[in-house]
Structure 1
């Protein structure tokens, strides 16, 4: 024990942050990228690059070229993106809220029940059980976002089934069919 304490004290005496010459107070050190922009000749080229994003899968046709989109939106006064019908949007939102909220609420209730069971001494719950419960139900909640969007009917006239298995299969195939068509 004493040997380890002595090694620690010796290690603390080593000057890790020793600077042989102090930094002059007139010299300014900048670590921010926007302050070094003028010194870097490639900065303007790097800054000029723009991100290229594609439309979300399943919610639009093949992307039009930039000039065609601009011409269409100027002539017709429409937005660049294709709009979802209001009833389809509401249906997707309700399903996402359900498929995210139900597993999350179930997981929180189960963790609360496990805590109560352990406090009252009914069962000595191992520490890994609540952690696994949180992991499983929050993972299911995360997957609920995707399944909620896929299980809703994307056709305005059709409501779809309660759990949406048929719609999810149909929409999954449609989404990948559109992706294959865009890549050709």
Structure 2
């Protein structure tokens, strides 16, 4: 009987299960692992919990203030336009939102860098000197 066109030879189809069984019966040979590389001592340093909490508080403040200011500007602009009927250019709304929400993004970085990374020292309120010291630490580590 002739095989239907496009479905292959039935004799070859019967040979395929036998080949699969032979391959399963043959032991799997895995390549030998390469010689281990010389062990490097990884220096793992954990950030103390005091420093992490200090960073988190500063990030909340330096991010939260601009973001909530930007959110408060939405109803203010609505009030000025609809209730007070004051006409102002729309770009003022766009620029104010970019500055406030962009300031929130900047606050994440500044909050982490302006915290004192010394667990025994709290640091200043604005953290400008700590930010300069921590930024120099980050930049010097990249050069090594």
Tell me how far 1:68 sits from its aligned partner.
2.3
> Which is further off, 123-132 or 169-178?
123-132
Larger radius of gyration: 2
Q: Deviations over 1:39-76 (max 9, x none)?
A: xxxxxxxxxxxxxxxxxxxxxxxxxx99324xx6xxxx
Which residue of the other structure, out of 101, 107, 111, is the alignment partner of 2:70?
Answer: 107
Tell me how far 1:157 sits from its aligned partner.
0.4
- The residue that corresponds to 1:123 in the other structure is 86
Q: 2:101 aligned with 1:138, yes or no?
A: yes
Q: 2:133 aligned with 1:161, yes or no?
A: no
Q: 2:114 aligned with 1:175, yes or no?
A: no
CA RMSD across the alignment: 2.0
Any unmatched runs of 5+ in structure 2?
1-36
Q: Which runs of 4+ in 1 moved over 2 A?
A: 65-69
- Give the paired residue count: 108
Q: Secondary structure at the match of 1:161?
A: coil
Any unmatched runs of 5+ in structure 1?
1-64, 73-79
The TM-score with structure 1 as length reference comes to 0.54
